[in-house]
Amino acid sequence: MPNPQDFVVKDCALVSLATGVRAQSLPGLREGLLAVPADSVYHHFWGGLLRARFDDPEFSNDFAVWVRHALHDLPLAERLAVIDPADFVDAEALRQEVLEVVEQRLDEIEAPVWAPRDRQFHFLRGQLVVFDTGRRVHDPRELVDLLPQLSPGSVFYHLIDARRREPVGQDDFHAWLVALEDGYEGLIARLAQIDPYFVSLPELRAQYAAVIESHFAGVPA
C-alpha cells in the first residue's frame, strides 16, 4: 500500500492550443494581451522551456522574441526579456506587467511598426498532459540520486508548474519537505533561493541537484 508521505514522481508533455487571437503590430499585441486568458501569457513565458527553440537565447519569452525579430524593436524586446515571471503571484499579475511595459513603449513611439503578415504573433494556450512515472521517493536522501535522472518533463512539472498549485509559489520538493516536518528548514531555505527562470530545464535540474547533494553530504546518515 502506498505511503501517503511518499513523493510521487510525475512527468508531463505540453500541448499548445490556438486561441485564435493574433497581433501584427504593437497596438495589436496590446489588444491581444487584453483579450486572451491569463494562462496564455503564462504559456508564452514558461512554455518555451518544454519545446525546442531556435530563437535568440538572449530573449527568454515569446513576446520579447517576436518584438525583436518581427517588429525589430530592440529597446522593447530588452524590457520584455528582463521580466521574471517567478516574481509574480499569478498569471494575471504577469499579464498586467507585460501590458504596462507595452503601453509605456506605445507612449514613446510616434508610429507603430507592422510585422509582415507571415510574422504575426499567434497567442497560444498550453495544456499539460500529466502521467505517473510509477516512481516513489520515501526518504529525502533519495533525492540525491533522483534529481539527475529527472526528465525535462518531470523538472517542468515539479519545479515550475507546481508553483501554480497549492501551496502557491512552492515547487513540489519544497512543499513535500515542509509537510514532512523533520528539520529540513535549511534545505528548504536554500531551494527557495533558486530562480527557475532564465535557465534551461537541465540547468535548473542541476542547480537543485547541487543544493540537495551538498546538504546531505554534511548530514550523518
**Residue stretches of the chain with pLDDT short of 70:** 1-4, 52-57, 218-221
- Residue 53: its pLDDT value, please? 58
Q: Do 84 and 24 fall within a single domain?
A: yes
Q: Cell numbers of 30, please?
A: 496590446
Residue 4 included in any domain: no
Q: Are 13 and 153 in contact (CB under 8 A)?
A: yes
Q: For 175-184, what is each residue's pLDDT tens digit?
A: 999 999 778 9
Q: Do 112 and 211 fall within a single domain?
A: no
- Residue 1: its pLDDT value, please? 45
- Residue 61: its pLDDT value, please? 94
What does the H/E/C string look like for the chain? CCCCCCEEEEEEEEEEEEEEEEECEHHHHHHHHHHCCHHHHHHHHHHHHHCCCCCCCCCCCHHHHHHHHCCCCHHHHHHHHCCCHHHCCCHHHHHHHHHHHHHHHHHHCCCCCECCHHHCEEEEEEEEEEEEEEEEECCHHHHHHHHHHCCHHHHHHHHHHHHHCCCCCCCHHHHHHHHHCCCCHHHHHHHHCCCCCCCCHHHHHHHHHHHHHHHHHCCCC
Q: Do 159 and 94 fall within a single domain?
A: no
From 103, 125, 147, give the residue that closes a domain: 125
Q: Do 112 and 23 fall within a single domain?
A: yes
Sign of the torsion angle spanned by Cα atoms 110, 75, 57, 160: negative
Sign of the torsion angle spanned by Cα atoms 195, 156, 160, 71: positive
Domain of residue 151: give its range: 139-217
Burial class of residue 172, CB neighbours in 10 A (0-12, 13-18, 19+): buried
From 59, 92, 125, give the residue that closes a domain: 125
Residue 101 included in any domain: yes
- Residue 57: its pLDDT value, please? 65
CA-closest candidate to residue 70, choices 26, 16, 21, 18: 26
Q: Do 49 and 88 fall within a single domain?
A: yes
Q: For 72-106, what is each residue's pLDDT tens digit?
A: 999 999 999 999 999 999 999 999 999 999 999 99
Q: Are 196 and 204 in contact (CB under 8 A)?
A: yes
Q: Are 144 and 18 in contact (CB under 8 A)?
A: no
Q: What is the pTM assigned to this prediction?
A: 0.91
Q: Do 105 and 192 fall within a single domain?
A: no
